[in-house]
Amino acid sequence: MKISVIIPIYNGEKYVYKCLDSVRKQTFQNIEIVIVNDGSTDGTKEILERFVEQNSNLVIKIINKKNEGLPQARKTGVEHSEGEYIGFLDVDDWIEPDMYFEMAKEAQVSNADVVCCGIQMDYANKTKVMPRDIKIKEPISGVEALEYLHNRTAIFPYAWNKIYKKEILEEINYPKGNFVGEDYTIVVQVLEKAKTVCMVSGKGYHYVQIPDSMCRGGYNKNYIYAYINYRKIALDLSRKYPQYRSCIYNYVIVEYMAMVIAMGKNKTYNHKMIKSIQRAVRKNLVSFLRSKDVPIIMKGSAIALSIHYYILIIVYNVIAKL
């Protein structure tokens, strides 16, 4: 069994060595490293070339291409990979030495289409292990995994803490450009096609929190596409799987609130979008408040937004200071 690890990179000279070094130290040996240099303009290319020279024992492919955004870089990596399973790794993150060994072991035992591992969020001065429902011991179906994903338990909407059978990744549509929710767009498609999904215990992936990253910065035009995309996916999924309608809309309401908060960060308000978001929140508020999977702080935030968007922003700023 071979795993192809696809690493898309755009101007990643600050992080690329630590990222690649964590792949070099993997205890699972049959790894192909596929690096997609997505039009970097800094010193990334030179660092990559030096890493290849210093690690001639590793199987490394470097694909240099024009910048088209993260999803298209991942698509390029899939097209150039040779492994039966594929994993994604973001250049500003790193992984535990046994991460791929543990997931490969599970994949071989269960023949799973998707295997997931735990996540630790690394901040500048603290760490946080993301909670998981480790009571899931047996493989579940991809459709069942959709429920866990939208309840934000066990299955998370990230492309990189998983390995996938290559044929599934060859069948999905990769969006163009960069926008909030691009990982979610890919993972949802994969889970719809997956027959079996498994989880391994313990953290494996270190999700490094960068203050000026896209999802933590202020509002920009990419949020318009993100909002339209979330709304479209929610409508499509709730029609296909009406039994999961409540958790699907509970999930996107949290994402909608994050968009309004982003507007408050740089005081750039899309009032048309805000009104549409408020309508969605008010329509689904009762279900949102009743859900045992929605944290109390999110319930309070939804109430604040349903009254006035600026109350949500004030509440967020107070909580952030605390």
pLDDT for 153: 84
What sign results for the dihedral spanned by CA atoms 157, 162, 166, 167? negative
pLDDT for 131: 67
Mean pLDDT of 98-109: 96
Write down the domain spans for the chain.
3-208, 217-321
Q: Which residue would you say has higher pLDDT here, 169 or 209?
A: 169
Question: Which tens digit of pLDDT belongs to each residue from 188-214?
Answer: 999 999 999 999 988 899 999 876 655
Q: Is the pLDDT of residue 319 over 70?
A: yes
- Return d(Cα 176, Cα 46) in angstroms, integer: 27
Question: Which tens digit of pLDDT belongs to each residue from 107-129?
Answer: 999 999 999 999 999 988 888 88
Residue from 256, 261, 263, 262 nearest 285 by CA: 256
Question: Which tens digit of pLDDT belongs to each residue from 302-311?
Answer: 999 999 999 9
- Average pLDDT, rounded, for the chain: 93
Q: In sequence order, which ranges of the chain are alpha helices (DSSP H)?
A: 16-24, 44-54, 70-79, 99-110, 142-150, 166-169, 182-193, 222-240, 245-266, 271-283, 285-290, 296-307, 309-321
SS3 of residue 126 by DSSP = coil
Name the CATH topology of 3-208.
Spore Coat Polysaccharide Biosynthesis Protein SpsA; Chain A (3.90.550)
pTM of the model: 0.93
- Return d(Cα 194, Cα 239) in angstroms, integer: 19
Query: Residue 202: left (phi > 0), alpha (psi -120 to 50), or beta?
Result: left
- Return d(Cα 263, Cα 27) in angstroms, integer: 44
Q: Is the pLDDT of residue 132 over 70?
A: no
Question: Which tens digit of pLDDT belongs to each residue from 41-65?
Answer: 999 999 999 999 999 999 999 999 9
Q: Is the pLDDT of residue 251 over 80?
A: yes
pLDDT for 136: 64
List, as one string, the DSSP characters of 46-89: HHHHHHHHHTTTSEEEEEEE----HHHHHHHHHHT---SEEEE-
- Return d(Cα 275, Cα 308) in angstroms, integer: 10
pLDDT for 127: 85
Q: Is the pLDDT of residue 98 over 70?
A: yes
